Amino acid sequence: MAIQKYDAGTYEVAVIGGGHAGIEAALSSARLGCKTVMFTVTLDWIGNMPCNPSIGGTAKGHLVRELDALGGEMGKAADKHTLQSRMLNLGKGPAVHSLRAQIDRRAYSGYMKHAVELQQGLDVKQCEITELYKENEVWHCVTSLGADFKAKAVIIATGTFLGGRIYVGEVNYPSGPDGSFPATQLADSLKELGVPLRRFKTGTPARVARDSIDFSQLEVQEGDAKTLPFSYSTEQDPENKVVCHISYTNDETKRVILENIHRSPLYSGDIEGVGPRYCPSIEDKIVRFADKKRHQFFIEPCGEDTEEMYLQGLSSSLPEEVQIALYKTIDCLKNVKIMRNAYAIEYDCVDPLALKATLEMKDFDGLYGAGQFNGSSGYEEAAAQGLVAGINAALKIQGKEPLVLSRASSYIGTLIDDLVTKGCMDPYRMMTSRSEYRLLLRQDNADERLMPIGYELGLIGEEQYSKFLEVCRLKEQEIERVNNTFLAPGSELNALLEAHGTAPMTTGTRLSDLIKRPQLSYEALAPFDKARPQLPYRVKEKVEIEIKYEGYISRQQAQVNEMLRLENKLIPADIDYSAITGLRLEAIEKLNKIKPANIGQASRISGVSPADISVLLIYLSK
């Protein structure tokens, strides 16, 4: 029997999904003044962390800082519920320093649930959207109970729920993450609509009982002595409340996995979805890296008020009894008690080449995608896309120019540009190596790069922006002072220089030139810098990096200027590439499909050569 539909109200923006992408999309849309509704399968799992209980990491920490600079919520929530904070890659240059925090999973989810509940102009509904269609320029979001919600714009942020199917060995069944309901009918509706979907796969390790772990067999991993927050509005540095631990698999682990590899749905052929290249399951690692003697994994707490421990690096889709057997081959887990088994989950997502740089679909006016629905992986990547989709949906409704972040402006811009111009064959993960401008896109200067945009949009308040301007003033003032401060040679100063492994001074030298020496730092020279003012850590960090890497930064800025020159060469939306003499057939096919907005974007499309770009430039000049 057909369900009787009823009019459930009209909104400007509707967001389907209450995960990290959905939250940022709904909050940004509502904060920009649009009447917004957010749908979630269950209110209890808003902001859930179905995979690892952490925020940040290599390049991901950059994304969180950028989100915060634009007015997002993730950084604030992470700072509020940090269990352990660590800055990764400190042995390398500042371009790849990335903040990572262990998070109290339940507390984070509770914070986000309350944040969306408190947001003015945002309604939150627990329901399953089963049908999506457009009629008379209005989108209809229909629930399983027949409620028909109308909206001018819809953002799909379904995570791994869309057509979700769980796999544990030979057993598989329809499900969302953590045993929640999947969005099966919505997947069918999107296919009927003509949205180009495909199947991806991800997975998660078991959660085990704390009292079943032998911690005496583990290497302790402490948090940093000096912690830093993600959010620029967080005034109190996060506190380290827990330690994590490190362990390794062994030959016996490998034997158990290989003897049962035929029972893994990854190798039996049951799973058709493509898994993440940079976060493989333990059985995938054993097969792909056959010569490796052992694999590192981490044991991390899921929260302060739970005994569940997370085995990062041991995700699996093997049968439950095999999971138990492989864990028990490791000394610290010989008596392990599994509280939640590991599983793989397969889900539907869109081909991101069907999206514009605004995250609106090219063939469906007013329909946007965000997060894992767009083919990415990770909470941070999802939240970043959610923010951009929410902002652009609101700007479109208000008749304003869209927000398109360039690759030179941010990792968020790089992430979206990669997705919509290059696409992805497996779940996309942000890494610092994906950015050709990573020396400019450091996490320490995310505020300088993006907070003026957040302020102009109206997502950054006056008080926060005034504090940001003061930080900028202090930085510029201190750089000028350091460049004009000269130190005379002396026995004590030269002793310090020699102790740091650098040549002593024979003549007076600018303080900035000493800071540029690889062996020295701004802080190390403090005893000889008598006029140095008291400055916040953030300012001192910015000063040192900008002085020490001045030459490299200038060279990279020149590269950016050249790239922006190409970005400014716009391509007409109605151009027919097949009519351009000299373009190769592959280039014609790719350009007609992706429809790049400018020459810069066209140059990054796989299959479009420099020769094709030259032909295109000549054609446009005519």
pLDDT digits (tens, 9 = 90+) for 538-563: 999 999 999 999 999 999 999 888 88
3-state helix, strand, coil in the chain (%, to 5): 40, 20, 40
Contact between 313 and 296 (Cβ < 8 Å) = yes
**Please, what is the end-to-end C-alpha distance for the chain in angstroms?**
62
For the sheet with 207-209, list strands across it.
219-221, 244-248, 296-301, 308-312, 207-209, 338-340
Residue 2 confidence (pLDDT) above 80: no
Contact between 372 and 253 (Cβ < 8 Å) = no
pLDDT digits (tens, 9 = 90+) for 65-81: 999 999 999 999 999 99
132 φ, ψ (degrees, to nearest 5): -135, 125
Identify the band that residue 1 occupies on the pLDDT scale cut at 50, 70 and 90. low
pLDDT > 90: percent of the chain: 86
Identify the band that residue 309 occupies on the pLDDT scale cut at 50, 70 and 90. very high
Maximal C-alpha separation, the chain: 92
Distance CA 67, CA 386 (A): 10
Topology of the domain comprising 207-346:
Elongation Factor Tu (Ef-tu); domain 3 (2.40.30)
Q: Which residue has the higher pLDDT, 275 or 533?
A: 533
Judged by phi (left if over 0) then psi (alpha if -120 to 50, else beta), residue 194 lies in left
Mean pLDDT of the chain: 94
Residue 144: the pLDDT is 96
CA–centroid distance for 106 within its chain: 20
According to DSSP, the residues that pair with 143 across neighbouring strands are 129
User: Mean pLDDT across the stretch 564-571?
Assistant: 86
Q: How many CB atoms sit inside 10 A of residue 361's CB?
A: 21
CATH 1.10.10.1800 domain position(s) in the chain: 462-555
Residue 304 confidence (pLDDT) above 90: yes
Residue 622: the pLDDT is 79
308 φ, ψ (degrees, to nearest 5): -75, 135
Q: Which residues of 565-603 are buried (b: 16+ CB within 10 A; e: fewer)?
A: ebbeeebeeebebeebeebeeebbebbeebbbbbbbbbb
Q: Looking up tokens 């953030």, which residue turns up?
A: 538
Distance CA 48, CA 20 (A): 8
pLDDT digits (tens, 9 = 90+) for 451-475: 999 999 999 999 999 999 999 999 9
Topology of the domain comprising 569-621:
DNA polymerase; domain 1 (1.10.150)
| Domain 6-200+347-457 part of CATH 3.40.50.720 | no
Which residue stretches of 232-319 are H helix?
Answer: 251-259, 265-268, 282-288
Strands 244-248 and 219-221 turn out to be antiparallel
CATH 1.10.150.570 domain position(s) in the chain: 569-621
Residue 274: the pLDDT is 76
Distance CA 284, CA 281 (A): 5
Q: How many CB atoms sit inside 10 A of residue 158's CB?
A: 31
Distance CA 587, CA 162 (A): 33
Contact between 472 and 449 (Cβ < 8 Å) = no
Distance CA 566, CA 408 (A): 12
pTM of the complete model: 0.94
Sign of the Cα torsion 478, 479, 483, 484 reads negative
pLDDT digits (tens, 9 = 90+) for 372-400: 999 999 999 999 999 999 999 999 999 99
Residue among 474, 473, 446 nearest 460 (CA): 446
Residue 268: the pLDDT is 80
Q: What type of residue sits at position 198? A: R
Angle, CA 500 vertex, CA 496 and CA 504 arms, to 5°: 55
pLDDT > 70: percent of the chain: 99
User: Mean pLDDT across the stretch 569-578?
Assistant: 90
By the 10 Å C-beta count (0-12 exposed, 13-18 middle, 19+ buried), 349 is classed as buried
Q: What type of residue sits at position 465? A: Y
Cα–Cα distance list, 568 to 395, 422, 565, 598 (Å) = 22, 20, 5, 7
Identify the band that residue 334 occupies on the pLDDT scale cut at 50, 70 and 90. very high
36 φ, ψ (degrees, to nearest 5): -125, 145
CA atoms within 13 A on the CB side of 48: 20
User: Mean pLDDT across the stretch 123-151?
Assistant: 97
183 φ, ψ (degrees, to nearest 5): -100, 80
CATH 3.50.50.60 domain position(s) in the chain: 6-200+347-457
* Residues contacting 552, CB < 8 A, separation 6+: 439
Ordered DSSP codes for 485-543: -EE---HHHHHHHHHTTSPPPSS-EEHHHHHTSTT--TTTTGGG-TTPPP--HHHHHHH
User: Mean pLDDT across the stretch 424-449?
Assistant: 94
Q: How many CB atoms sit inside 10 A of residue 33's CB?
A: 14
Residue 278: the pLDDT is 65
| Domain 462-555 part of CATH 1.10.10.1800 | yes
Ordered DSSP codes for 439-466: TTS-GGGHHHHHHHHHHHHT-S-HHHHH
CATH 2.40.30.260 domain position(s) in the chain: 207-346
Identify the band that residue 565 occupies on the pLDDT scale cut at 50, 70 and 90. confident
pLDDT digits (tens, 9 = 90+) for 167-213: 999 999 999 998 889 999 999 999 999 999 999 999 999 999 999 99
Q: What is the DSSP letter of 274?
A: B
